[in-house]
Structure 1
């Protein structure tokens, strides 16, 4: 179980590093990516971007 916690932590760190670069490419601004304010804080739920990046990772994993 500790291995999965480490994997999730590293994935979150990588995502936070690559978020600005992905936003320049248009990810995070696709239809289905939700931004809203709740209690004075801006919340962001990137559903469409997550699906596209997951499909890309699956294609890469399949052919490597």
Structure 2
């Protein structure tokens, strides 16, 4: 039970850190989600808009995988 509590506390700290980071420097990250590999489609009449942030999700996945692997080695 204590191991689960450690992971919950650690998850809360990580979420808090990410929230604070986005709060204070979120306006400087406006390029995130508008990378060259992200697919965006808008119909001619403007009624349909489809957006697939493929490259953004790949980069976030790589970053999270790296962070999780580092944390697993420390704990």
Would the TM-score normalized by the shorter structure come out above 0.5?
yes
In the alignment, structure 2 segments of 5+ residues that lack a partner are: 1-21
Q: How many residues align?
A: 44
Largest Rg, 1 or 2: 2
TM-score (normalised: structure 2): 0.50
TM-score (normalised: structure 1): 0.57
- The runs of at least 4 aligned residues of structure 1 exceeding 3 Å deviation read none
Give the RMSD, CA atoms, in angstroms: 2.2
- Equivalent residues in 2 for 1:1-64 (5 A)? 21=26, 25=29, 26-38=31-43, 40-64=47-71
Say which SS state the counterpart of residue 32 (structure 1) adopts. Answer: coil
In the alignment, structure 1 segments of 5+ residues that lack a partner are: 1-17
